Amino acid sequence: MYLTMEETADQLGMPLEQVRRYVLNGKIRAVHDGNDWLINEDQFSLYFEQLKLLKQQIDDWLNEPIPPDRDIKDED
């Protein structure tokens, strides 16, 4: 499925100008149909898989219990 630059910016959570720069620099592959740039949605599948994995790793890290401190001395 092809998306416009505006739809791509919304889906990626980026500003429109950044998506436009990426298209013009070749970082995002796009097809110009005469009026608009059309961007194939499938090229972002790896990006979203890696983003999902990174979010899971961060959640796991945040939910990891804090180990007891070995340097605690009993003051009694």
**Structure confidence by residue, pLDDT tens digits, 12-26:** 999 999 999 999 999
Q: Please give the order of strands across the beta sheet that includes 30-32.
A: 2-3, 37-40, 30-32
Nearest of 41, 36, 1 to residue 20 by alpha carbon: 36
pLDDT at 67: 79
**Percentage of the residues of the chain whose pLDDT score is greater than 70:** 95
pLDDT at 76: 59
**Burial class (CB within 10 angstroms; exposed 0-12, middle 13-18, buried 19+) of 44:** middle
Locate all alpha helices (DSSP H) within the chain, ordered by sequence: 5-12, 16-25, 45-63
Q: What's the whole-number mean pLDDT along residues 32-36?
A: 91
| Predicted structure pTM score | 0.65
